Amino acid sequence: MLDNYSKSKIVLITGASGVIGNSIVNLLSEDNNLKLLITGQNEVKLKYLKSELNNVLAYLAGDLIDYKFREKLISSFSEEFGGLDILINNAGIYTWSSIDNLQAEQIDKTLDLNLKAPIHLCHLISQGLKKKKWGRIINIGSISGSVGEANASLYSASKAGLIGLTKSLALELAEYGITINSISPGWVKSPLSESVFGDENNPLNEKDEIDCVPQKRWIEPSEIAHLVKFLISEPACGLTGQVINLCAGLSLG
C-alpha cells in the first residue's frame, strides 16, 4: 500500500484568504505531514489563519498580479523552508462582462492573475521539484474554461489557458514524479459567485441558475478541498494531466 507521504511536505496555497482557499487551508492543516505556506490579499485573514490553525508555518500578503511579488514569494519561502513540494494555484478573479463592454485593464488584470501567475509560479518552482523528483501542482480552474460561459469570455479564456498549462506541464514533468492536475468547479458558494448574482446588470438570479444544475445545488468549498487533499496525496501518483469537473453535474449539459 502507498503510504500517504514518506516525509512532511511544504505546500503553498494562493488565494488563501478567500472562501475556497480558506477551506483548503482548513482541511490540509489537519494533516501533520503537510506544512502550509499561505498567500492572499487580506493580510489580517492570513494572520488569523496562521494563529488559529496548526501546521500553517508562514504567510505573505500581496498581489499576485505583480510578478515581482511572485518572485519574492517563492524566493523568501524557499530560503526559509527549503523549497516547496506542492503548489495549489487557487487565486483568481471572476470577470462578468459582455465582449462589448470589456475594458483593456480588465483583460490584463484577469489574465495576469488567473493565468500568468500560475504559469509563472510553476516556472519558479519547477527546478526545485525536479531535483526532489517529487511534486504536486493543482490548478483551480472552472468549468467555464471547458464548456464556455456567455458574458464571461475573458474569465473562460483564462481558465481554458489553465487546462493547457495542466496538460502540457504534466507531459513535460511526468518523468520527474511530478503530477499536475486541474479542478474545474461549477457554481461554488463564495463571494465570487454571489457578486455575480448581486450585480444588478446580471439577468441571472440564484434560483434560475441552481435550476440548471442537475444536482440542484451549489458546490461547497469543502468539496474542492477534499479533492485537493486526494490529488496531492501519495496514492494519487498515477493521476496527472487531468481536468476534473467538480460541478454537481453542470458540465454534462
Active site residues: 155
Looking only at residues 76 through 115 of this chain, which bind another protein when binding is defined by CB under 8 A? 80
Within the chain, residue ranges assigned H as helices are: 19-28, 43-52, 67-81, 104-111, 117-132, 144-147, 153-173, 191-197, 206-211, 221-231
Decide: is 45 part of the binding site for another protein (CB under 8 A). Answer: yes
The helix-helix angle for 19-28 and 43-52 (nearest 10°) equals 20
The residue among 172 and 194 lying less far from another protein, judged by its C-beta, is 194
Report the C-alpha gap between 158 and 144 in whole angstroms: 9
Query: What single DSSP character describes residue 112?
Result: I
The residue among 96 and 197 lying less far from another protein, judged by its C-beta, is 197
What 103-112 contacts at long range (C-beta under 8 Å, 24+ apart), as own/partner pairs, is: 106/154, 107/154, 109/65, 110/154, 110/155, 110/158, 111/154, 111/157, 111/158, 111/161, 112/64, 112/65
Find the binder of another protein among 14, 22, 114, 139 (CB under 8 A): 22
Written as nine digits, the cell of 86 is 506542492
The residue among 22 and 139 lying less far from another protein, judged by its C-beta, is 22
Looking only at residues 173 through 202 of this chain, which bind another protein when binding is defined by CB under 8 A? 189-191, 194-195, 197-198
Phi, psi of 249 (to 5 degrees): 90, 0
The residue among 69 and 176 lying less far from another protein, judged by its C-beta, is 69
Find the binder of another protein among 48, 69, 96, 176 (CB under 8 A): 48
Secondary structure class of 8 (helix, strand, coil): coil
Report the nearest approach of another protein to the CB of residue 192 (Å): 10
Alpha-carbon Rg for the chain in angstroms: 18
Stretch of residues binding another protein (CB under 8 A), selected from 47-55, 138-146, 163-171, 236-244: 47-55
The residue among 47 and 123 lying less far from another protein, judged by its C-beta, is 47
Report the nearest approach of another protein to the CB of residue 221 (Å): 8
Report the C-alpha gap between 246 and 33 in whole angstroms: 26
Find the binder of another protein among 4, 41, 57, 102 (CB under 8 A): 57
Decide: is 19 part of the binding site for another protein (CB under 8 A). Answer: yes
The four Cα atoms 179, 233, 92, 58 give a dihedral, to 10 degrees, of -110
Report the nearest approach of another protein to the CB of residue 35 (Å): 9
CA-closest candidate to residue 187, choices 211, 158, 163, 154 = 211
Report the nearest approach of another protein to the CB of residue 155 (Å): 18
Report the nearest approach of another protein to the CB of residue 198 (Å): 5
Decide: is 213 part of the binding site for another protein (CB under 8 A). Answer: no
Positions in the binding site for another protein (CB under 8 A)? 8, 19, 22, 26, 32-33, 42-45, 47-48, 50-55, 57-58, 80, 189-191, 194-195, 197-198, 221
